[in-house]
Amino acid sequence: MKITRLQREFIGEQFHTPKGGTLTVTGVSPIKQGRGALFTVECSVCSADAELWPSGSIIASKGHLIKGVVPCGCTRSPRWTQDQFEILVKRKCEEKGYIFQGFVGEYKGAFTYLRLHNLQNDNTWETTTITSFLHIGTGCPLEARLKQKQQAV
């Protein structure tokens, strides 16, 4: 792939993110978007997590970067891929003592249901979405019912 003079001049440009990070344009991506090129970008905050953001995984158009669009996890509402959601869910499961057994049915982004297993009480359930698990903190329904009964006593 031939890199134009303008593309070469854009490499090295830096942009700030809302979370205090710095986006640095590192190259031209082999992925095309219409007529325009996409650029690979490294974020000083997100790129520190190589599992979630492997090298070369953050890409954006020149126009988006200039307009202030943030293509990584530093944006207010990141657009996670299925692989990234899986990593985030597995990390949260590790915190809570659960096992992630996969997605339920068709993948629907943040609204996809999860199959989770609680090691403490051997309960498995499929009623929690990615969003409710990661952001609201929804956990094991059996554990919640037991806790509710104990509080009622």
Encode 84-95 in three state secondary structure. Answer: HHHHHHHHHHHH
**pLDDT (0 to 100) of residue 3:** 85
pTM reported for the whole predicted model: 0.86
**pLDDT (0 to 100) of residue 65:** 97
Read off the tokens for 46.
């997100």
Positions in the chain whose pLDDT score sits under 50:
none
**pLDDT (0 to 100) of residue 153:** 67
**pLDDT (0 to 100) of residue 151:** 82
Residue 116 to residue 99: CA distance in whole angstroms: 6
CA atoms within 13 A on the CB side of 126: 7
- What's the pLDDT tens digit per position in 39-75? 999 999 999 999 999 999 999 999 999 999 999 999 9
**pLDDT (0 to 100) of residue 45:** 96
Question: What does the domain layout of the chain look like in residue ranges?
Answer: 5-67, 82-152
Residue 46 to residue 62: CA distance in whole angstroms: 19
